[in-house]
Structure 1
Amino acid sequence: MSQQRYHQRPAGSNWGDFGDDDQLGTLNYLDAQTRLAAIAEVREGISFSLSLPLTVPRAPVLNPRRKGPVIRPAEKNGVPVYRYPLATDVPGATDVISDDSVTLSPQYSTQWDALGHVGSLFDAQGDGDARPTGYNGFTVSEPVSEGFIGTRDLSIAPMARHGIQGRGVMVDLRAHFGDEQRKIGLAELQRVMQADGVSVRPGDVLCLHTGLADLALTLPDDEQHRLKTSCCVLDGDDADLLAWIKDSRIAAIAADNHAVELRNHSLAAERGPLLPLHEQCLFKLGLPLGELWHLTPLAHWLRQRGRHAFFLTAAPMYVPGLVGAPVNPIATV
């Protein structure tokens, strides 16, 4: 363990297991052999995009601080460059150019959480002072550069450089529990996996189909508020589930719901996380979380054929400094 960055690590974490300066966490399980083995899941050459349009949800009901994209034409000397004839600049030119710009919250729609998204107040130095700390003892809020708000060590950049490509495994919670909101602990998760013959291997990306992204895509605008109280979520308060996530050595979890787990709004104890599964995954294990993936078409296709595994390519958008980034995951079966 790094004696400069931290002197003690959280109980149950894997800090230092992949090296003192590791920034990948459980993505280390996605190595060359794991990728080669995952290619065997490609049998028909059919692909599925697992991304929602990044304009969905159509209203910011799930997290009011996150806004949908706003698209504008790019400008040149104050003039919109959209259907812009280059003959304006060079007489006789026949080219017509369109450029645009977009402002968006990177975690509004289909996205990966980077490891810097959630840290913890933790006494990493053993001096009695709990400070904002991230995976492997990195500082959560270390700026990328002066005047720029971002994170240097635990941004989306290491995930983008490494690439996320391997075996995806679908657990179809919606098929068993419908669209009612329900907390899923380890016992229920394993019952579903056993009933559907789902096996999980080290290095897998566990994909949880709850149906919420499908509702976000299909509900009318005046019913989008139903997204706040619909579909399955993992029970972050289930200690057995948190232990299984570590022991299974999966590389990542991606769900089609809002936050994988149900966010607590109050503490059951005097001190602790409101997002215990996020703390376990992002802070303790360095395990990325995908949210609002559109899994329904793929889940239906797999279920009809008695399959649960596929080849997944899901590198996030490469913007250094971001603590979450859009992704267009591609499943190939």
Structure 2
Amino acid sequence: MAPASSAADRLLQISNTLPATSTSARMQFDPNSNSFPLRKDLPAIPGAPKGAAWFWGADDQLGRVNLLTPARVKEAVKEVVTGETVPLNLEVSELKPCYGRETFEHTIKSIMPRVAFDDLYSMNTQSSTQWDGLRHVAHLSSEIFYNGCTQKDIIGPAANTKCGMQAWSQHGIVGRAILIDYVGYAGANNLPALDYYDNQSIPLSALVAAGKAQGIDVRPAAQGGDIRVGDILLIRSGFIKNYRSLSPEDRVRLHSKTAGFGDDDEQTYPGLEQTEEVLDWLHDCYFAAVAGDAPAFEAWPSKADFYLHEYILALWGCPLGELWDLEKLAAKCRESGKWTFLLTSSPANVNGGVGSHANAIAIL
């Protein structure tokens, strides 16, 4: 990679201004570029939390989805070999919701007896396969969401649609995706099984090893690896497979524990480790989106003094998926020996939406 200063000169152009309270200029990335600053080299943005990568324009609501350009989508289509489709969505009522969230309710309404019916849905988008949107979690210490969005933009008399799900929906999330099958690697190498109801951390070293076993170098392409700018990362921990092995009574018991935010949270789940090393990797790969099969993607609650959520969502504007069904996909990838594919997702087109069911499909 070129030195940060020359890369910045080459990639960033002054084209947007900050709000009227500042006279500084907002640098803007070229989404078609394949070379971007490392996390450690991100220039500061006046008025933004440290480490914010809000460089797609002062009015941007897409975040890392900007990387899914027509050129990258066209290139991603080349990943299709067999044309087989693998939906990645749980049946919406399969999972006992985590964190005290509402269960899905489905009512069938008769509009003309015997010949015509409607559906009525009541759901919390966080209760099944989902995208966390840019209004879901803020940078905790500053209480600022992506690109300067705040609570007053989301609820209250001045509420608006800034950074709502409609932006991702109207763009679409389509690109080259890569699956890292951590649980498959762990099982094949006789590693200790995860406790799916403890906040066990999956370190970057484990993902590196799992990737290597799949024939994938998980470093960014700029560093000699196989991860391309704009790739969509999927990580299989085995949470869904384990959940399906539980009795109905255990499902209710384990998912009904007291939910909080921090040390008092009794709902604990495995996921990515909260370390600077993991943050650097997630950022510097310039993933367009990340997702996993566990309830929180990261180990929950965090064992560090920060959460990956606040970086991925608030500082980088990257879609974060949870509770994806990766079981069939992992089996198909293992069978073919190919772990990259085309992924499509159509989030709900809801003005001001906080999150959405994923409507995700892998095309092999």
**Same fold per TM (> 0.5)?**
yes
Aligned counterparts, 1:1-333, within 5 A: 2-4=18-20, 7-15=46-54, 17-57=55-95, 59-60=96-97, 62-64=98-100, 66-74=101-109, 81=110, 84-85=112-113, 96-121=115-140, 130=142, 132-143=143-154, 152-178=161-187, 179-181=193-195, 182-198=200-216, 199-224=226-251, 225=253, 232-236=270-274, 238-264=275-301, 272-273=305-306, 276-333=307-364
Query: Identity, % of aligned pairs?
Result: 32
Deviates more, 1:48-57 or 1:137-146: 137-146
Query: Structure 2-normalised TM-score?
Result: 0.75
Asked whether the 8 Å contact 2:296–2:322 carries over to 1, the reply is yes
Consecutive unaligned residues in structure 1, runs of 5 or more: 75-80, 86-94, 123-129
Asked whether the 8 Å contact 1:52–1:213 carries over to 2, the reply is no
Q: CA deviation at 1:214?
A: 2.7
2:332 counterpart SS class: helix
Distance 1:200-1:35 versus aligned 2 partners, 3 A rule: same
Asked whether the 8 Å contact 2:139–2:311 carries over to 1, the reply is no
Asked whether the 8 Å contact 1:56–1:216 carries over to 2, the reply is no
Q: CA deviation at 1:133?
A: 1.3
Give the whole-Å Cα distance in 2 for the aligned partners of 1:253 and 1:194: 19
Q: CA deviation at 1:223?
A: 2.2
Consecutive unaligned residues in structure 2, runs of 5 or more: 1-16, 23-45, 188-192, 217-225, 256-266
Asked whether the 8 Å contact 2:271–2:300 carries over to 1, the reply is no
Give the whole-Å Cα distance in 2 for the aligned partners of 1:158 and 1:141: 19
Give the whole-Å Cα distance in 2 for the aligned partners of 1:321 and 1:3: 21
Q: CA RMSD in A?
A: 2.3
Q: CA deviation at 1:280?
A: 0.8
Give the whole-Å Cα distance in 1 for the aligned partners of 2:164 and 2:122: 19
Give the whole-Å Cα distance in 1 for the aligned partners of 2:21 and 2:333: 45
Asked whether the 8 Å contact 2:272–2:298 carries over to 1, the reply is yes
Matched AA of 2:240: A
Residue-by-residue CA offset, 1:165-189 (whole Å, 9 max, x unaligned): 0111000011123551341122222
Matched AA of 1:63: Y
Matched AA of 1:24: L
Query: Structure 1-normalised TM-score?
Result: 0.82
1:160 counterpart SS class: helix
Aligned residues: 295
Q: CA deviation at 1:210?
A: 1.2
Asked whether the 8 Å contact 1:234–1:261 carries over to 2, the reply is yes
Give the whole-Å Cα distance in 2 for the aligned partners of 1:172 and 1:63: 26
Q: CA deviation at 1:246?
A: 1.1
Give the whole-Å Cα distance in 2 for the aligned partners of 1:262 and 1:215: 16
Q: CA deviation at 1:110?
A: 0.3
1:38 counterpart SS class: helix
